[in-house]
């Protein structure tokens, strides 16, 4: 059984995930967190994010942004990358993840989730049965409540790495 706080896998960056391979494996939808996953916290969509979403859409993926932020933050970003979105999603509650898959017409078996936080992104997506990819945060400068969560995440990640090592041996 999968531990709900452990990601299915990790990546140094959203931009180094082999989305082509995942598409070949049958994945058809990608749910993204925004801040520190696609751009630094509060930043607008940049050229790299826009190009990634163009590539994903060309491959045939449906995409959706799932954010706990308010609509004035999420809507312009979604417009720039031409993606659907859900704001004030209430992550890690299941409701947002289930709604995202419903909007994309996907299932847990063919959906990816990409995010930078364990206690919101990974935990919620794992509970929904989605394949999770935890990426390194883009910017180390964050609000105090997130900094405190990062310290707890470091402990979880230590045990995750021990778990991976044991399974590899």
Please write the tens of the pLDDT for every residue from 55-111: 999 999 999 999 999 999 999 999 999 999 999 999 999 999 999 999 999 999 999
Helix (H) or strand (E) holding 84: strand 84-86
**Bond from prior residue into 92 cis (ω within 30 degrees of 0):** yes
Domain locations in the chain as residue ranges = 9-168
Please write the tens of the pLDDT for every residue from 140-149: 776 666 667 7
CB-CB contact of 45 with 77 (8 Å): yes
- How far is residue 129 CA from its own chain's centroid? 14
pLDDT at position 15 is 98
pLDDT at position 145 is 67
CATH topology of domain 9-168: Rossmann fold (3.40.50)
110: number of CA atoms within 13 Å, CB side? Answer: 16
Query: Beta-carbon neighbour count of residue 149 at 10 Å?
Result: 16
Res 163 pLDDT > 80: no
pLDDT at position 39 is 97
Res 1 pLDDT > 60: no
Res 2 pLDDT > 80: no
The structure's pTM equals 0.87
- How far is residue 115 CA from its own chain's centroid? 3
Nearest by Cα to 94 from 133, 66, 73: 66
Average pLDDT rounded to a whole number, residues 115-127? 94
């Amino acid at each position: 059984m999968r531990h709900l706080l452990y990601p299915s896998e990790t990546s140094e960056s959203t931009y180094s995930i082999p989305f082509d391979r995942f598409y070949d494996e049958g994945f058809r939808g990608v749910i993204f967190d925004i801040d520190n996953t696609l751009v630094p916290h509060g930043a607008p969509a940049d050229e790299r994010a826009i190009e990634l979403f163009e590539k994903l859409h060309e491959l045939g993926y449906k995409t959706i942004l799932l954010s706990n932020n308010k609509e004035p933050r999420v809507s312009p970003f979604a417009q720039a990358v031409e993606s659907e979105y859900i704001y004030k999603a209430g992550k890690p509650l299941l409701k947002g993840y289930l709604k995202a898959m419903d909007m994309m017409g996907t299932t847990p078996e063919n959906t990816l989730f990409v995010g930078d936080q364990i206690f919101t992104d990974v935990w919620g997506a794992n509970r929904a049965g989605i394949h999770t990819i935890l990426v390194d945060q883009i910017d180390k400068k964050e609000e105090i409540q997130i900094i405190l969560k990062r310290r707890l995440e470091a402990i979880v990640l230590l045990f995750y790495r021990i778990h991976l090592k044991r399974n590899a041996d």
